[in-house]
Amino acid sequence: MATHAGGLTATRPVRVQGLVRGFGERTVLDGLDLEVGAGEFVALLGRSGSGKSTLLRALAGLDGDVTGSGLVDVPENSSVVFQDARLLPWQRVLDNVVLGLRGSAAPERGRAALAEVGLAGRERAWPSELSGGEQQRVALARALVSEPELLLADEPFGALDALTRLRMHDLLRELCARHRPAVLLVTHDVDEAVTLADRVLLLDAGRVAVDLAIDLPAPRSHRQPQFLAYRESLLRALGVDQTEG
Amino acid sequence: MTASVLARPRAAATAPARKPRRRLKPGRPIPFGAALGPFLLLAVWAVGSAAGWLDSRTLSAPWTVVTTASDLVADGRLQDNLAISAQRAGLGLAIGTVIGTVLALIAGLSRWGEAILDGPIQIKRAIPALALVPLLILWLGIGEQMKVTTITLGVLVPVYIHTHNGLRSIDSRYVELGESLRLRRAVFLRRIVLPGALPGFLLGMRFAVVGAWLALVVVEQINSTSGIGYMMELARQYGQTDVIIVGLVLYGLLGLLSDGAVRLAQRRALSWRRTLAD
């Protein structure tokens, strides 16, 4: 059985020890250890099938039906952003944002969250009337409106076009600076990881193979030499040879 | 989606040299096209009656039917019978809808509920509601109870089947979303399950309203002393085809009206959907 120990550690919101997860015969996570500090932005890289999403789902408590063991200690108040915006098509935008909120202040907080992602005035729109990028912004507003201590994001920009993705990076960085949640961002995009994260983890064979602190001044850009150095070392660890290209 | 296709400028039409592309669609809709068929039918009927090809004992003329209808309205028989019929159908429809929906929710939300309920209802579905009438007469007599029960049974099945199907086809990603937001069961039901099952429920209702009138016809023609069906049955004994046709037209109108009402509700309630039909 998967174990989920609820609890709160002020300094280290996320603590994972000896996490094992598997599907049938195949072991995906094999004794993984992970700690994420308060307000820390961690990007999770890895080849497809390396267990990135499995780890994220374990942290989100969305893997009730898998076999596994290990300690997972995450804050009670955590939010998930999925790859698809996952808005309820039959609820208007504002109702989607406040879906998980209780109390009479919910609409007000929802409006404020929508304004923060630049969608003030679209409260009464149906999700189908929004573009893909706008839908994902609503999903971000929904995730942050509850002021989570931990934000779990599973390739949230994977389905967006390159230009929209860059705008979303800026937005996410702003929002994280303001709300200071701990973030675990699963991505397959090395540039995205280096641009956004304080720390990049590389998952391989069910464990954390590389743990790289990114020490770059903001605003980060592809033109910084250190940026390229981080990028290259991560690509090499992923098994991509840059010299050929 | 469709709008953008239609709005695209017709490049082929403006380019002089190019032959216009063959249109494969049936073309523009004819104004009031839906009324054309019935109108033609009415015309044939009227001409046939006026020319004397149709014996009035076989089929009364349209104008006879109209005057008969106004006579029936004048002496109050039509309204009284219609009120009784509408009450039976409405009562059966209401009870059947509630039971069907509740059963669908129980079967849709719990494995035990599905295991216990789904089988019997599928069996009931295989037995026409009207085949149960003899048994229901033995159990409940020939009064209102039997009539309303028959209608209820006819309504319950489509409401259950379609609502249950709607529930089952709610995207599991939305269930996962609810879990990730730690929604309480009541909120999950109100915000995700019920609206998700609404399209199925409304489709079930369209079958249900038609089923209600259908069951009504049968129960009112057996051992009844009131209602449109009774009025028609009596007319048969006296050979009054005009009265029978008034009843038939009435049934048709009621069916059309109630189906239209459900369709209107469907359009209102599902305004969030963008489908090809829009």
What pTM was estimated for this model as a whole? 0.79
Rounded CA separation A141/B120 (Å): 46
Rounded CA separation A140/A53 (Å): 18
Using the beta-carbon criterion (under 8 Å), do B181 and A126 form an inter-chain contact? no
The answer to whether residue A2 scores a pLDDT higher than 60 is no
ipTM of the modeled complex: 0.87
Rounded CA separation A30/A68 (Å): 9
Structure tokens at A146: 């509850």
Using the beta-carbon criterion (under 8 Å), do A100 and B183 form an inter-chain contact? yes
Distance from A60 to chain B by nearest Cα, in Å? 7
Residues A204-210: what's their mean pLDDT? 90
pLDDT in tens, B67-95: 999 999 999 999 999 999 999 999 999 99
pLDDT in tens, B26-73: 878 888 888 899 899 999 999 999 998 888 888 889 999 999 999 999
The answer to whether residue A196 scores a pLDDT higher than 70 is yes
Using the beta-carbon criterion (under 8 Å), do B183 and A99 form an inter-chain contact? yes
In chain A, % of residues over pLDDT 70: 93
Rounded CA separation A107/A98 (Å): 7
Judged by DSSP in three states, A186 sits in: strand
The answer to whether residue B275 scores a pLDDT higher than 70 is no
Residues B1-21: what's their mean pLDDT? 54
Judged by DSSP in three states, A47 sits in: coil
pLDDT band at A243 (very low <50, low <70, confident <90, very high): low
The answer to whether residue A1 scores a pLDDT higher than 70 is no
Residue B41 pairs in a beta bridge with none
B191 touches A: beta carbon within 8 Å = yes
Distance from B180 to chain A by nearest Cα, in Å? 7
Rounded CA separation B208/A212 (Å): 63
pLDDT in tens, A81-130: 999 999 999 999 999 999 989 889 999 999 999 999 999 999 999 999 99
